[in-house]
């Protein structure tokens, strides 16, 4: 994986020259049009980048954009691969590792998801604070992905607290309230199945009943 990432970095820099992105944004379902809010400088299709592959799901354009905002370079991945496409974790991991190798140390991941709580409304914007993995696997299983990644990376702050605070503060300016939530990860496409909601709603209730850990 490391060699493929280095090859992709060399290819992109041969096209775009020396640039130093601070932030990367991976657009999930329904988020591709967000790129219109940025000043776009460059564009490369995924299929042209060594080690990357074209997207297969409708609504995922499959473009890597170099954009600019407030004098900062931003990488925008228009679309992503999914585990249910059956090609394993590699295509999902690749853009994350590529963004880091290109210098972006802030990563925003977006997606469209169903909601369990009856308090949620269609179109609610959620800021994640944690996740529960109900998938039959984990992207950290297997060989170490990159020399900079430890065998057992810290999982206590997967979702950066400062970024979460800044995201919630920004709602004061856009007047679009956000909800702090925990996401449940599933392997297959079964968002519309009804039978599983009962046990999961119990998990949602437990979040409010169980004592909260002290704030740090």
What pLDDT, on the 0 to 100 scale, is given for residue 45?
A: 96
Q: Is the distance from CB of 116 to CB of 88 less than 8 angstroms?
A: no
3-state percent breakdown (helix, strand, coil) of the chain, nearest 5: 30, 25, 45
CATH topology assigned to domain 1-112: Rossmann fold (3.40.50)
pLDDT tier at 118 (50, 70, 90 boundaries)? Answer: confident
Query: Residue 188: what pLDDT?
Result: 64
| Cβ neighbours, 10 Å, residue 58 | 7
Domain boundaries, the chain: 1-112, 121-216
What integer pLDDT is reported at residue 200 of this predicted model? 62
User: Is 60 exceeded by the pLDDT of residue 47?
Assistant: yes
pLDDT over 50 (residue 211): no
- The closest of 93, 213, 193, 86 to 142, measured between CA atoms, is 93
What is this structure's pTM?
0.84
Q: Over 80: is that where the pLDDT of 50 sits?
A: yes
> What's the mean per-residue pLDDT of the chain?
83
Sign of torsion over alpha carbons 181, 145, 108, 64: negative
Q: At residue 192, does pLDDT exceed 60?
A: no
């Amino acid at each position: 994986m490391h060699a493929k990432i280095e090859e992709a970095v060399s290819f992109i820099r041969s096209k775009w020259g020396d640039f130093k992105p601070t932030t990367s944004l991976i657009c999930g379902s329904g988020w591709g049009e967000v790129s219109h809010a940025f000043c776009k400088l460059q564009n490369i299709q995924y299929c042209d980048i060594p080690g990357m592959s074209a997207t297969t799901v409708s609504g995922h354009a499959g473009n890597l954009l170099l954009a600019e905002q407030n004098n900062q370079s931003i990488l925008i991945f228009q679309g992503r691969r999914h585990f249910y496409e059956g090609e394993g974790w590699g295509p999902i991991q690749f853009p994350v590792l590529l963004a880091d190798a290109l210098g972006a140390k802030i990563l925003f991941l977006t997606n469209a998801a169903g909601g369990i709580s009856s308090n949620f409304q269609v179109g609610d914007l959620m800021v994640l604070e944690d996740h529960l993995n109900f998938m039959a696997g984990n992207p950290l299983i297997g060989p170490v992905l990159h020399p900079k990644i430890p065998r057992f990376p810290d999982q206590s702050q997967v979702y950066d607290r400062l970024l979460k605070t800044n995201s919630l503060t920004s709602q004061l300016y856009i007047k679009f309230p956000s909800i702090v939530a925990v996401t449940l990860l599933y392997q297959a496409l079964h968002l519309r199945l009804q039978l599983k909601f009962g046990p999961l709603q119990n998990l949602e209730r437990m979040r409010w009943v169980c004592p909260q850990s002290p704030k740090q």
